Chains A and B, each alone.
Chain A
């Protein structure tokens, strides 16, 4: 229950960090940001990285900035940063709804948004937000910078487009239009546990009809994604119970749930139906 030995590196600039990563990644060098997933894994000795590159001392990675169009979340921005009204507008409101579902407060003071994206746990709430909002992941290596849209970022359970020498420097989320309504609902058996499934819904209403609907699910499949078949049933319809039920049913049909010892495929499918319906009903 004690982590194995590793070499500790504490770069103070991004250039230094990516140079270290290029050198050390082939020797199982890893980035340490919040450490709230990595350190327990090391305590179990499931992970035994030979080098840790601690990026907490790099000032530019701590930035959380908001413009009219984009929220830019630096690699060291903690979950807890979203508990107050730092991020304005509808996107800020949505992030506040989501953050209270993430682990527990003393974990949220350390764990980072971008760390959750990099870790890519199927049950990560931020991964669901990234997928729902079509965010962009900014990756940096000694070879340069690249931007990967959320739809191309995830490859499988805890598997992403990140190359071993790449570091997530920031994630960009769009500022949703002010008339967008949002709802987020997840289910876990105990407060703070990994969610068995979650649903995020967002839409606008123009002339009584739903436009720009977004439905994303997380926790149920290997990675979070939008469900276009369910969204298409909402387009042009008046918001209401019948249309929400139809979308929830479509979502349940579209998912290919993971199965584990506690949760059958049918159970997760049923959860997706219920959670999509509730997320749509909760959207305001």
Chain B
């Protein structure tokens, strides 16, 4: 039973049928087997948040769940945020407010913030900071990330 097994993952509404060992984490399979490399791997033990994806709408650490556990679930990654050529309001806001420098942590922050605001559109500043404290950014000092998420929250509500 530790040999590879066939599973189907639904990533951004696209089905991927892959053969994986049970020990493979979701983030590894998303990147290596499904070729969706927008999701990044940082610490691989749940501390940095770079691999954050939405699992049935909830932000999760994709390094702390095995891919076999995500079968028959809806997975959303950074590749699924934009609509055609139109960036998601969160992506627009990150650009406008200079909320990234090297960009390594950005996909995780985007999915975390989108997941939180889709669930709670009216987060106050304290709640927002509390949620964003889950992910690490070593470049920005966080202020611009907070500004961007605040701005995107207004846009997301306007478009809802």
Residues of chain A at the chain B interface (Cβ within 8 Å):
1-10, 32, 35-36, 39-40, 42-44, 51-52, 54, 56, 80, 100, 104-107, 109-110, 191-192
A5, A7, A109, A191: the one within 8 Å of B59 (CB)? A109
Q: How far is the CA of A44 from the CA of B43 in the complex (A)?
A: 11
The answer to whether B131 and A9 touch across the interface, beta carbons within 8 angstroms, is no
Closest A residue to B56 using CB positions: A109
A-contacting 9-mer, from B21-29, B74-82, B89-97, B151-159: B21-29
A8 cross-chain contacts in B, Cβ below 8 A:
1-2, 5, 22, 66, 68
Residues of A close to B116: CB separation below 8 A:
105
| Nearest Cβ on chain B to A65's Cβ, whole angstroms | 22
Taking the closest CB of chain B, its distance from the CB of A277, in whole angstroms, is 24
Whether A43 contacts B2 by the Cβ 8 Å rule is no
In the complex, what's the smallest C-beta–C-beta distance from A272 to chain B, in angstroms? 25
Task: Indicate which residue in B22, B24, B59 contacts A52 across the interface (CB closer than 8 Å).
Answer: B22
A39 in contact with B65 (CB, 8 Å): yes
Apart from the given pairs A104-B134, A110-B65, 9 other A-B contacts in the complex at a CB distance below 8 Å:
A1-B44, A6-B22, A8-B22, A10-B68, A39-B25, A39-B65, A43-B45, A54-B68, A54-B69
Compute how far the CA of A276 lies from the CA of B83 in the bound complex, rounded to whole angstroms.
52
Chain A residues with CB below 8 A from B5, complex form: 8
Contact across chains for A3 and B64 when beta carbons are under 8 A apart: no
Q: Within the assembled complex, what's the spacing in Å between the Cα atoms of A104 and B59?
A: 11
* A3 CA / B68 CA spacing, docked (Å): 14
B48 to chain A, nearest CB (A): 11
B interface residues, Cβ below 8 angstroms from A: 1-2, 5, 21-25, 28, 44-46, 49, 52, 55, 58-61, 63-66, 68-69, 112, 116, 130-131, 133-134
A104 touches B64 (CB 8 A): no
Cβ contact within 8 Å between B64 and A39? yes
Report if A191-B130 is in contact (Cβ < 8 Å); known contacts: A1-B45, A43-B63.
Answer: yes
Cα A8 to Cα B116 in complex, Å, equals: 31
Residues of A within 8 A of B21 (CB): 5
CB atoms of A192 and B133 under 8 A apart? yes
Considering the complex, give the chain B residue whose CB is closest to the CB of A42. Answer: B23
Give the contacting residue for B58; candidates A4, A42, A43, A109; CB below 8 A: A109
| A105 CA to B131 CA, complexed, in Å | 6
Bound together, the chains give a CA A44 to CA B66 distance in angstroms of: 15
Tell which of B1, B64, B69, B116 has the most Cβ of chain A within 10 Å: B64
**B44 cross-chain contacts in A, Cβ below 8 A:** 1-2, 43
A64-B159 Cα distance, complex, nearest whole Å? 35
**How far is the CB of A270 from the nearest CB of chain B, in Å?**
26
A5 to B, closest residue via Cβ: B2
Contact across chains for A7 and B64 when beta carbons are under 8 A apart: no
The minimal Cβ–Cβ distance linking B68 to chain A, given in whole angstroms, is: 6
Is A106's CB under 8 angstroms from B23's CB? no
